[in-house]
């Protein structure tokens, strides 16, 4: 697939250009491929990969290991909204049932129980969401314990959800405005730069009281967009007529 080919090329090019720039690559299930893992290992890094394919031999072997034993570790944490999360984890390393990968892999199974209050029929109802995640990694337990691996995998999801999803949904990253290769790179660079500057403003400039109201950023941006109508400078043309108002 083109995505995995590009991932390998990117990892190799980064290593050739900058040397070792990271200790761990966090990858989605799409990149759970031996060539991608080998590219990371050759660059001196480990991988933490989200797994989905239960038919893989290594997944079946790990599931058999976990089936008849209690969790290897448990802990409590809080999610981004302050809800209590009870985590159970099973961890097994030295699994060699992925013959395409040249090193034994470690499989971590995570079950997250999130306690939260939701509104149903105009009433507050206490519910528990249960989410199961599977992770494969080349990191040994000596280098990263179970909780650290779980946190790395969770951080990858935050990056994808907050970064790439927002860039595609609100910043038109999925739209090709130009068709020259150099112009495409420049355009994407501007879009990512604008996105980062915007988030730096909201999360590092505005007071904490403004950020803790759980108000979506697009609502705050709409308020700022509306306020430009009354500025002495004619910035409203940039914001309204030229479409610079995405969230």
- The pLDDT mean for the chain works out to 84
- Dihedral, CA atoms, 52, 75, 163, 17, nearest 10 degrees? -80
Considering just the CA atoms, what is the radius of gyration of the chain in Å? 22
pLDDT of residue 173: 80
- 93-102: list long-range contacts, CB under 8 Å, 24+ apart: 93/140, 93/141, 95/58, 95/61, 95/62, 97/56, 97/57, 97/58, 97/60, 97/61, 98/34, 98/56, 98/57, 98/58, 98/136, 99/57, 100/34, 101/34, 101/37, 101/38, 102/34, 102/38, 102/41
C-alpha span between 216 and 41 (Å, rounded): 39
Is the pLDDT score of 35 beyond 90? yes
Is the pLDDT score of 93 beyond 70? yes
> CA neighbours within 13 Å on the CB side: how many for 195?
18
pLDDT of residue 122: 78
Among 91-100, 112-121, 170-179, 211-220, top mean pLDDT goes to: 91-100
Domain ranges of the chain: 3-163, 164-241
Is the pLDDT score of 246 beyond 50? no
Give the mean model confidence (pLDDT) for residues 78-104.
Answer: 91
Is the pLDDT score of 193 beyond 80? yes
Is the pLDDT score of 95 beyond 90? yes
Residue 109, Cβ density class (10 Å: 0-12 exposed, 13-18 middle, ≥19 buried): buried
């Amino acid at each position: 697939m083109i995505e995995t080919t590009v991932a390998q090329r990117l990892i190799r090019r980064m290593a050739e250009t900058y040397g070792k720039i990271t200790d761990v690559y966090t990858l989605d299930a799409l990149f759970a491929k031996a060539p991608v893992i080998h590219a990371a290992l050759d660059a001196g890094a480990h991988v933490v990969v989200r797994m989905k394919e239960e038919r893989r031999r290594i997944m079946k072997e790990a599931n058999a290991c976990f089936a008849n034993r209690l969790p290897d570790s448990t802990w409590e944490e809080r999610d981004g909204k302050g809800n209590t999360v009870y985590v159970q984890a099973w961890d097994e390393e030295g699994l060699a049932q992925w013959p395409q990968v040249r090193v034994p892999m470690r499989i971590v199974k995570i079950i997250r129980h999130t306690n939260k209050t939701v509104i149903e029929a105009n009433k507050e109802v206490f519910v528990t969401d249960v989410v199961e995640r599977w992770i494969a990694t080349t990191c040994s337990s000596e280098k990263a314990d179970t909780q650290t691996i779980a946190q790395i995998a969770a951080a990858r999801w935050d990056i994808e959800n907050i970064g790439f999803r927002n860039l595609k949904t609100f910043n038109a990253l999925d739209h090709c405005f130009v068709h020259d290769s150099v112009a495409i790179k420049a355009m994407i660079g501007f879009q990512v730069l604008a996105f980062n500057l915007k988030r730096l403003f909201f999360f590092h400039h505005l007071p904490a009281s403004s950020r803790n109201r759980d108000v979506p950023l697009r609502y705050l941006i709409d308020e700022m967009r509306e306020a430009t109508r009354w500025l002495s400078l004619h910035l409203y043309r940039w914001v309204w007529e030229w479409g610079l108002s995405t969230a």
